[in-house]
Amino acid sequence: MTGYENREELLAVDIPTAFYANSSDREKAQETLAAARHVADFESKCAARTAKHAQCWSLPSLSGTPRANVTAYQGFLLDITERKQAESEIRRRNRELLVLNSIARH
């Protein structure tokens, strides 16, 4: 999903700086996790390792340790890149249709 070849290569990177395209996404996820102990359906743009994966989007679902301060995360990421691309294409086509409808009215 992000261009890393194997688990060891991914575990060797600094997740906060190398995985999230926007550091604010990670901060928001951490705040939600600290308050609710669970994050679901939180869309996040990935900082992909290669140009091939440059438009990577993920949908993490995370849960934290049941302590006062979260010391570990457990969860999974769902690659929603194709879904985001399809949504973008739909928005583009809707804009085109609005322009065509406007032209047709005039």
Kindly list the domain boundaries of the chain, sorted by start residue.
Answer: 7-80
60-63 contacts at long range (C-beta below 8 A, 24 or more positions apart): 60/29, 62/29, 62/33, 62/38, 63/33, 63/37, 63/38, 63/39
The whole-number average pLDDT for the span 24-40 is 81
- Its pTM stands at 0.59
pLDDT digits (tens, 9 = 90+) for 46-83: 776 655 555 677 767 777 665 566 566 677 777 788 88
Tell me the two tokens of residue 105: 């009215």
